[in-house]
Amino acid sequence: MLGYHSPVGLIEGLLLALGLLAATWIVLVAIVWLHRPSRALAGPALRLIPDLIRLVRSLIGDPRTPRHVKVALGGLLVYLLSPIDLIPDFIPGLGSIDDLAVTAIVLRWAGRRVAVDDLRAHWTGSDPGFDLLRRLLGI
């Protein structure tokens, strides 16, 4: 019979999809956990998030920024502004860490494709903030 699906097959498919989604979430949380900043950097780094958002928006608007970097930075902005997070924000002490870790991962990747001088030219925060950004990015 064409178009007939047994309920058991649909349930198995749904369970498989949910299992894959859960496994993907666990892997992403583990990646974020492994890339989290030290406690000494986390507090000051969290205060950089507004400056980081301005940096990302500025880099996206720069015609010298490569297109693939703009796409990654655009995805980062969507993630930061989205209410959906890998670790929910209502969890005290951990809720904002995923935003910071995802930002650090994407900016590390983008920072290797954009010159440090370009990052500095687009940075609107303080000089100590930029030094902290360089430490977080490993540049």
CB atoms within 10 A of CB 23: 10
pLDDT of residue 72: 93
Mean pLDDT value across residues 13-36: 74
pLDDT of residue 70: 93
Contacts of 59 by beta carbon, 8 Å cutoff, 6+ apart: 65, 69, 70, 73, 110, 114, 118, 119, 122
Q: Given this model, what pLDDT does residue 47 score?
A: 76
Q: Which residues contact 77 (CB under 8 A, 6 or more apart)?
A: 53, 56, 57, 60
Looking at the chain, how many residues does it have? 139
pLDDT value of position 40: 64
Q: What is the pTM of this model?
A: 0.62
What band does 138 get if pLDDT is binned at 50, 70 and 90?
confident
Give the model's pLDDT for residue 71: 94
Position 12 scores a pLDDT of: 81
Longest pairwise C-alpha distance within the chain: 70
